[in-house]
Chains A and B, each alone.
Chain A
Amino acid sequence: MNVFQILANYSPTLLGGLWVTIQIFLLTSVIGIIGGIALGALGARYKELGTFVRVFSFVMAGIPLLVILFWFYYPFQTILNIQISAFATAVIALAFFNVATIAELIRGVLTDFPKQYIVVAKMSDLSPQQIFSKIQFPMIFRQAIPSLLTTQVFILHATLFASLIAVPEIFRVAQNINAVIYKPIEIYTALAFFFIITLAPVNYLAYALKRRYTRDFSEY
């Protein structure tokens, strides 16, 4: 059975796994972006919260994602004496990491934003809403988007770790298929193709957004 036969024969199973992967990714991404932007913005505004964001991000960046995932799967649930599904655990663990990373990114971009751009906007008699929508947001968005997209692509790849706590995402599905037909070279090559094809739109979107919004502002 070659790569294409595997893709053809097992496409419903692989698509089922892919759907789980996409669900984990979308949930993690939405929680991470909304939570991270909110926490980062508050961290830039309030000093104490800013310190919390920096420490939170530092701690999360220092712990391997796999450890975070397993910590949420075993000790966290034991300590609180609760039971959460493997799927929800994966989402919580990845979202924690995503929120921490994005919050620190946004906090940094907001904190380092040159105040004089705002001063000039005030001299131009722009309202606070206009200053945000016409000056701050476009500049911050352009600065943050490359790192934000890179983080999301990393999160997408990291969803594979969910297979280790038995979430039936695509990697887990591939492992299961391999357990039946034992064709590791073909299966994992098929998986690579599968990722390239399915992730191509995501990668292209990231590339297109970068090209559209991250023009080099360097002045000479």
Chain B
Amino acid sequence: MLSAKNITKYREGDVVLESVDIDIEPGTITALIGPSGAGKTTLLNILSFSLFPDTGTIAVNDKSFSFPYSDGSIPQPSSLVTMVFQQLFLWPHLTLRENITISGRVSDAELSELINAFGMKNFIDRYPNQTSLGQRQRAALARAIALKPRYLLLDEITSALDIEQVEVVAKYLKKLKTGGTGIVAVTHLINFASRISDQVIFMDKGKVIERGTKELVSKPKNERTKEFLEFF
């Protein structure tokens, strides 16, 4: 399991996350929803060890790290928990194919499958800046999947995808879930969240306001959650 307990993070004196708890079971999909600035991205960064909290504990499988960290070497990001950043960070000097295969962890057959699944055949050998944002989002997702992570964190990776492509991504995420991958997806597509998720968490102003099953989207209990979901 990937879990974070009592996570608090400050940025320039302002609280970004306040006593946040989250548990991600393998083989489940969790949707993180909430307004911009709620702390969703910060939470993903912390879960992937690309950012450290000021206080709190993160546990991955059997390893636990308490912060502020003072116990030996600093935990490093690894393929165990892989994240697709909102800005993607595809390496610009490598083609999309090279971006996906650089780790050496994907076989030719697996690469072909990813190329077909995400419709990348026509642009796989282009450089990132020669492709559209939607194409880059698919490539970044493919790069992360190629690492075969135990936990996959996705930060608004469908923002530039059309309805058909979102459906393709949704199907693939369900397939990964069946294969035992624990997935957390930050999304503003509430319909997408309710269709694929086992757990939905609503965050606002650095706090978890409400959490529940996918039913939360249609039947929120908290007033703030209701207010936010009214717009969808």
Contacts and interface: CB of A to CB of B under 8 A. Distances in A.
Q: Is the interface of A mostly helix, strand, loop or mixed?
A: helix
A138 B78 contact: no
Interface residues of B, number: 27
Interface string B57-92: 000000000000000000011110111010101011
Interface stretch (A148-156, A180-188, A211-219): A211-219
A119 B78 CA distance: 9
B147 to A, nearest CB: 6
Interface string A185-220: 000000000000000000000000000000111111
Q: Is the interface of B mostly helix, strand, loop or mixed?
A: loop
Nearest to A114: B89
Counting chain A residues whose Cβ lies within 8 A of the other chain, the interface size class is: 20 to 34
A119 B50 contact: yes
A112 to B, nearest CB: 15
A117 B102 contact: no
A116 B79 contact: no
B207 interface: no
B103 A217 contact: no
A113 to B, nearest CB: 12
A129 interface: no
Contacts of A219: 92, 128-129, 133, 136
A116 B87 CA distance: 9
A119 B77 contact: yes
A53 B103 CA distance: 36
Contacts of B78: 122-123, 125
B105 interface: yes
Given A124-B79, A125-B103, A126-B102, 10 more contacts: A116-B87, A119-B48, A119-B50, A119-B89, A120-B91, A124-B147, A135-B91, A139-B92, A139-B93, A219-B136
Interface of A: 114, 116-117, 119-126, 134-135, 138-139, 142, 215-220
**Pairs A-B, 10 closest by C-beta atoms:** A217-B92, A124-B103, A122-B77, A119-B50, A116-B89, A219-B129, A125-B79, A123-B77, A123-B82, A138-B93
